[in-house]
Amino acid sequence: MRFQLLMFSQRGKASADKAKNYFDANLAATYYAGSFSRITVRRHSYMHGVPIDLNLSSFEGSTLIELGVGEFQIQFRFHPEGTISVEGKWELRDPAGVMIDSWARESITNHNTLKLQSILGKVVQSYSVNAPSSFSLRFNTGHVLTILDDSDQYESFSVGGVYV
């Protein structure tokens, strides 16, 4: 596990090691003391390889409502809740299984057109985990979005507090 320092006061310096002594099991915790006015840390799971027990059941029945496109990241936002942030490789296949779009670890500005709008507003019917390399979401249209762990060195994606 790694601890991420989210915020600290300008009046003092804090180390994540000191702050994690005051960390509450699975949630963020705030520490008030000494020269620090506030330190907030959050525990995240960092790993390489998609875990075999990755639980994506909260996405079943959810609608993809927003695509956030950044230069080196795409975010998939679902309703009623859930976000998948991808910095690595993803693939989109049509109902016949033909790859209609994909993206690898590069600037999105090099990608001429996105076909992700074909799943925007669509409902996730099911998911599958192909540990340790990928997981997939199947939409009610038959499209399949696959997110791959394509690097041992860099983060490929994050979902539900799990960073791979």
Range of the domain at 23: 2-46
Q: Are residues 17 and 90 in the same domain?
A: no
pLDDT recorded at residue 61: 98
Handedness of CA 8, 14, 17, 18 (dihedral sign): negative
CB 7 within 8 A of CB 41: no
For residues 5 and 94, give the distance between their C-alpha atoms in angstroms, rounded to a whole number.
41
Total domains present in the chain:
2
- Residues 26 and 81 occupy one common structural domain: no
134 and 64, same domain (yes or no): yes
Residues 114 and 37 in one domain: no
Q: Considering the domain boundaries, does residue 76 fall inside one? A: yes
Q: Are 128 and 118 in contact (CB under 8 A)?
A: no
Are 95 and 155 in a shared domain?
Answer: yes
121 and 155: one domain?
yes
Q: Both 89 and 138 in a single domain? A: yes
pLDDT for 161 equals 84
The structure tokens listed for 20 are 């994690």
Does one domain contain both 64 and 31? no
Residues 37 and 62 in one domain: no
Residues 100 and 145 placed together within one structural domain of the fold: yes
Whether a cis peptide bond, with omega within 30° of 0, leads into 95 is: no
Would you say residue 51 lies in a domain? no
- Strands 36-46 and 162-163 turn out to be parallel
CATH number for the domain spanning 88: value is: 3.20.190
- Per-residue pLDDT, 47: 60
- Is the domain of 30 the same as that of 103? no
For residue 164, CA distances in Å to 52, 70, 77, 153 come to 12, 19, 18, 10
- Give the gyration radius of the chain's Cα atoms: 18
The pLDDT of residue 107 is 67
- One domain for residues 65 and 115: yes
pTM: 0.71
List the chain pLDDT tens, one digit each, 164 residues.
Answer: 333 333 333 334 443 444 344 333 333 444 444 444 443 334 444 467 899 999 999 999 999 999 999 888 999 999 999 999 999 999 999 999 999 999 887 767 777 788 999 999 999 999 999 999 999 999 999 999 999 998 888 889 999 888 89
Domain membership of residue 52 (yes or no) is: no
